[in-house]
């Protein structure tokens, strides 16, 4: 008769010692395959100098909220162009000592401010809470509101038809 009941015993694994690290002195060298290795030394290095643009952006401009946080000081320059005009794609704005001009994506000049004369031309609507002007001319001199002479004149193209105020030699 055979004994079908086998007894299993656990296999014994012998303890292995933990590998010990050996401390190699810093100034020692190793040799291997006819080559000698020595630790390298690093030369002293100065701290990096702050780059102005990085500091400027982080302390003066908030790029997430697109807000200017501090005052800028401008230096003399010939001119500034913002954007690049490309027909049907983008307009541009130009600032120079002679004035300011802007073009839309169609190439139409939308406003001009003349730096020499102070004249301004706008292609669109002008809105303001209040306006103080000396003289307002509507159309081709058809309606003139003159604050200095205290008159309002409506002209039909040939004759002054409505006159409010005083006009020397008028009707």
Alpha carbon distance 123, 144 (integer Å) = 20
What confidence tens digit (pLDDT) does each residue in 69-126 have?
Answer: 888 777 777 888 999 999 999 999 999 989 999 999 999 999 999 999 999 999 998 8
User: What local confidence, expressed as pLDDT, does residue 100 receive?
Assistant: 95
Residues 81 and 120 in one domain: yes
In a domain, 104, yes or no: yes
| Local structure of 59: helix, strand or coil | helix
30 in any annotated domain: no
Mean pLDDT of the chain: 82
Burial class for 146, CB neighbours closer than 10 Å (0-12, 13-18, 19+): middle
Burial of 153 (0-12, 13-18, 19+ CB in 10 A): buried
pLDDT value of position 123: 92
pLDDT for the residue numbered 167? 66
User: Is residue 108 in some structural domain?
Assistant: yes
Residue 59 included in any domain: no
So what's the pLDDT on residue 66? 80
Does one domain contain both 99 and 115?
yes
Domain that holds residue 109: 74-125
**Domain-located, residue 44:** no
Same domain as 148, residue 115: no
Cα angle for residues 64, 70, 76 (degrees, 5° grid): 110
* CA-closest candidate to residue 28, choices 17, 20, 36: 36
Query: Residue 31: which pLDDT band, with cuts at 50, 70 and 90?
Result: low
Mean pLDDT, range 10-38, rounded to an integer:
70
| Count of domains observed in the chain | 2
Higher pLDDT: 167 or 152? It is: 152
Q: What is the pLDDT of residue 114?
A: 94
């Amino acid at each position: 008769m055979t004994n079908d009941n086998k007894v299993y015993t656990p296999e014994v694994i012998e303890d292995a010692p933990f590998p010990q690290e050996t401390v190699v002195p810093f100034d020692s060298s190793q040799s291997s395959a006819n080559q000698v290795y020595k630790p390298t030394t690093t030369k002293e290095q100065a701290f990096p100098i702050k780059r102005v643009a990085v500091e400027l952006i982080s302390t003066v401009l908030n790029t997430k909220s697109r807000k200017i946080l501090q005052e800028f000081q401008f230096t003399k320059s010939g001119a500034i162009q913002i954007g690049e005009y490309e027909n049907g794609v983008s307009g541009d704005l130009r600032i120079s000592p002679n004035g300011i001009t802007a073009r839309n994506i169609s190439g139409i000049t939308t406003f001009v401010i003349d730096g020499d004369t102070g004249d301004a031309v706008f292609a669109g609507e002008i809105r303001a809470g209040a306006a103080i002007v000396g003289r307002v001319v509507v159309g081709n001199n058809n309606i003139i509101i003159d604050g200095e002479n205290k008159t309002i004149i409506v002209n039909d193209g040939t004759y002054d038809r409505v006159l409010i105020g005083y006009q020397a030699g008028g009707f």
